[in-house]
Amino acid sequence: MLLKSLIPYIEKSSRAEISLLIATGLHRPVTEKEKKELVREDVVENYEILDHDARNEEQLAKLNKKTSFGTPVVVNKLVLENDLVIGIGFIEPHFFAGYSGERKILLPGVASADAIFNNHSFKMINHPKSRYGILKGNPIHEDMVEFMENTKLDFILNVILNKEKNISGIFAGDPIEAHLKGVKELEKYVKIPYTRPADIVITTNGGYPLDRDIYQVVKGMDTAALVAKKGGVIIITAECRDGLGGHREFLEIVKGTKNPEEIIARIKKLEPIYDQWQAQILARILKKAKIIVVTHSLSRKTLEDLQLIHARTLEEALEIAYGYVGRDAEITAIPEGPYIIPMKVNEN
């Protein structure tokens, strides 16, 4: 929707040659079918659309700089070679960057693998302020901002979405100022009060497209963990049509471990490794609660390898949960999963 308005505006105003760079970070490349869904078929046919590859040295420009957090400033060459760089995306709560949008389109979006590994390192993820809804003092966010300031992002066009995933706010202009305005507006809707933790928390990963794979579903689990009692149960429903979503490393980090502590020990021993951040956050959640995943797309064995419990229906999941915490359990439901931030308030 944004490109539909933006591209004609640019072409009418200038003789600019337009390229579109998809900020894949360390995720798999986008398929041709997905590109057509992402930007429309006519855009695919008429414009150069490139996938960022964080491992491809030929795509990268090294600036011989590091941020104060030690992250090497290495970015896709197109960012530096073009006169105007516009970041398009949307702002939502993010489980370790505080919020998505703005600076995140550069790091991890179009940064090198080494830069991403450092920004997503065990130490950075482990910081107590690397959490949903926190920007000030969050080292991951602050590192991303430094990276942006050392590379190039001239203008952002970020949106916020409502429950129906329709655009409910547009924030354009200076990357930092426009992003903060978007965050401030979003916080009116996503910070939801709760009075006490629950024995069982039922949630989703926000539906399609965020619940396409189990790797992304960790985000919804982490939201639920904010509300779950220690020793409680999280039930999350997620389609997971793409299985692991190309994140085999995520499974391999956890596979063969018997408890969260073993996952952490493995990450510390092998770091840096792909997807360690997701496994680290999963371990943190597992220290607090059992996790039941309601899905038809993933096998019981795959989920067990991730220290997760499989259920085919919500009713089955509740029966399993009652076995852990009893039938008199208090239950909290979070329909929007990672799209909200639970905020503890006093019962009085």
First to last CA, the chain: 45
Compute the half-sphere exposure of residue 308: CA atoms within 13 Å on the CB side of its CA. Answer: 29
* Four-residue CA torsion sign, 11, 16, 21, 23: negative
Q: Are residues 261 and 333 in the same domain?
A: yes
Q: Are residues 21 and 134 in the same domain?
A: yes
Cα–Cα distances (Å) from 79 to 75, 83, 235, 295, 298, in that order, read 7, 9, 42, 40, 38
The vertex-245 CA angle with 240 and 249, nearest 5°, equals 125
Which amino acid makes up residue 203? T
Reply yes or no on whether 27 is catalytic.
Answer: yes
- The one catalytic residue in 52, 94, 120, 179 is 94
- The one catalytic residue in 27, 52, 247, 310 is 27
pLDDT value at residue 200: 98
Q: Are residues 171 and 206 in the same domain?
A: no
Q: Are residues 172 and 30 in the same domain?
A: yes
Domain membership of residue 240 as a residue range: 195-344
Q: What is the CATH number of the domain that holds 17?
A: 3.40.50.11440
What pLDDT digit, counting tens, does each position of 232-270 carry? 999 999 999 999 998 999 999 999 999 999 999 999 999
- DSSP code for 119: H
Task: Give the position of tokens 């085919």.
Answer: 312
Q: Are residues 110 and 220 in the same domain?
A: no
Reply yes or no on whether 52 is catalytic.
Answer: no
Q: Are residues 179 and 107 in the same domain?
A: yes
Q: Are residues 151 and 220 in the same domain?
A: no
User: What is the number of structural domains in the chain?
Assistant: 2
Instruction: Tell me which of 129, 154, 189 is where a domain ends.
Output: 189
Q: Are residues 124 and 209 in the same domain?
A: no
Contact at 8 Å (CB) between 203 and 211?
Answer: no
Helix axes 214-225, 276-286, angle to 10 degrees: 40
Residue 170, strand partner residues: 159
Q: Are residues 202 and 339 in the same domain?
A: yes
Q: How far apart are CA 324 and CA 313, in angstroms?
A: 17
Q: Are residues 35 and 175 in the same domain?
A: yes
Instruction: Tell me which of 189, 209, 237 is where a domain ends.
Output: 189
pLDDT value at residue 348: 64
pLDDT value at residue 1: 87
Q: How far apart are CA 260 and CA 221, in angstroms?
A: 15
Contact at 8 Å (CB) between 146 and 124?
Answer: no
Which region holds residue 52: left if phi is over 0, alpha if psi is between -120 and 50, else beta? Answer: beta
DSSP-derived pairing of the beta strands 331-334 and 309-311: unpaired
DSSP secondary structure letters along 75-98: EEHHHHHSS--EEEEE--EETTTE
Q: SS3 for 221-272, per residue?
A: HHHHHCCEEEEEEEEEECCCCCCCCCCHHHHHHHCCCCCHHHHHHHHHHHCC
Per-residue pLDDT of the chain in tens (348 residues, 90 and over written 9): 899 899 999 999 888 899 999 999 999 899 999 999 889 899 999 999 999 999 999 999 999 999 999 999 999 999 999 999 999 999 999 999 999 999 999 999 999 999 999 999 999 999 999 999 999 999 999 999 999 999 999 999 999 998 888 999 999 999 999 999 999 999 999 999 999 999 999 999 999 989 999 999 999 999 999 999 999 999 999 999 999 998 999 999 999 999 999 999 999 999 999 999 999 999 999 999 999 999 999 999 999 999 999 999 999 999 999 999 999 999 999 998 999 999 999 876
Contact at 8 Å (CB) between 140 and 119?
Answer: yes
Q: Which two tokens stand for residue 165?
A: 């995933």
Q: Are residues 38 and 181 in the same domain?
A: yes
Q: Are residues 169 and 69 in the same domain?
A: yes
